[in-house]
Amino acid sequence: MRTRTVTMQPGPLRADARRNREQIIEAARTLFLRLGPDVPMEEIARSAGVGVGTLYRRFPDRDELIKAVSLDTFSRLAELATRAEREEPDPATALTRLLHSALELHLGLATASMSAPGKRALMDSPEVSAYRTEAIAVVGRLVRRAQQEGTIRPDIGPGDVAVALAVVSRFLPPALLPTDLPPTENDLADMARHRLFTLMIDGLRTTPGTPLPGRPIEDQDVETLRRQRTPF
């Protein structure tokens, strides 16, 4: 007698599983930004509206969850890069828009508490590599186009832009500052980060002069930033 093979078609359970996974990733991203990458897994499950068992079935450990969040973030970066290049006719404006989006994505935030093997696995991931390559390729095209138009200085390459952005990104987002700080000190760190970002962008241009956000950072502000553990 011939054995009949029955192929199971995706049903509601598979759709629910996909939805649960997306909810967990989004909840983890939000909590990583608000509370830091060491937030308890139980809190992530609660915020995602799923049970802890469901979370661990999808992501057996923290590294796996961080990897999923990071992969999703790199995917968003690649999408934002493509959109900026397509929608902004001026290459310098498109480059600024893309770099600002990358800054707000906090690319390295989730991996801060990742184990060394986990970080290596993430950086060696073909998916992450593909998204990163796609975004850097867009940066390269925008830089070259802007240089041809004379709006970006001719002595830089896309690698200079990536390194400068990495330096600016080292400033902690306000959400990760100690919770007992007054709001004004949280605002100071955010203002300093955006002023540094604007200075970086102006350093790329042939004719700098973009108005800086906020106010000048005084000497006493430096001590305040040190207390916040803001690296510089």
User: Residues 175-232: pLDDT tens digits?
Assistant: 555 555 554 556 787 788 888 899 999 999 998 888 888 888 888 888 887 776 655 5
For residues 31-50, average pLDDT: 89
Higher per-residue pLDDT: 57 or 231: 57
Q: Hey, where are the domains in the chain?
A: 11-60, 62-227
Please report the pLDDT score of residue 33 as a whole number. Answer: 80
Higher per-residue pLDDT: 51 or 187: 51
CA dihedral 192, 198, 203, 208 (to 10 degrees): -130
CATH number of 11-60: 1.10.10.60
Model confidence pLDDT, tens digit, residues 69-89: 999 999 999 999 999 999 999
Q: For residue 59, what are the CA distances in angstroms to 10, 25, 113, 123?
A: 21, 10, 16, 18
Q: How confident is the model at residue 14 (pLDDT cuts 50, 70, 90)?
A: confident
Using the predicted structure, report yes or no on whether residue 36 has a pLDDT greater than 90.
no
Q: Which range, 13-17, 66-70, 146-150, 227-231, is most confident?
A: 146-150
Q: Find out if CATH 1.10.357.10 is the number for domain 62-227.
A: yes
Model confidence pLDDT, tens digit, residues 123-145: 888 998 999 899 999 999 999 99
CB 97 within 8 A of CB 88: yes
Please report the pLDDT score of residue 104 as a whole number. Answer: 85
